Amino acid sequence: MSGRSRGDISETLFNQIYPYQVALTALEVQMRFNEVNSLSRQLECSRLNRTAWCWNEGYVIYCFALKSQAEAFLQAFDAEWVDPKERMRQKWVSRWRRIEVGRLG
């Protein structure tokens, strides 16, 4: 049984077409959806969704064909680079780790 839908390109081919991948927390995407959506359209981001999960937080991965497009997106939202090979092997780890703080008293 195939792991992808009929007509979809393979993960490896996708990573060759869009080698520059940037992760943004799902919470930030939700809070700033209009800004993220309009900039990703201007920069011709891939329309195929990619996600990752790290430190109990979801990330949306935006994929770009050109490095300049990815860098513009990276700077606009304080996102972080994702290595496609690490993401495929589920080895990618976010540089940001939220620490849960309990209430005292």
Condensed to tens digits (0 to 9), the pLDDT of residues 4-27 reads 566 677 888 888 889 999 989 888
Question: Which CATH topology does 17-88 take?
Answer: Alpha-Beta Plaits (3.30.70)
- Structural domain boundaries of the chain? 17-88
45 burial (CB, 10 Å; 0-12 / 13-18 / 19+) is buried
What strands, in cross-sheet order, belong to the sheet with 80-82? 50-54, 57-64, 20-25, 80-82
Tens of pLDDT along 27-41?
889 999 999 999 999
Phi (first) and psi of residue 61, to 5 degrees: -105, 120
pLDDT band at 98 (very low <50, low <70, confident <90, very high): low
Supply the mean pLDDT for the chain. Answer: 81
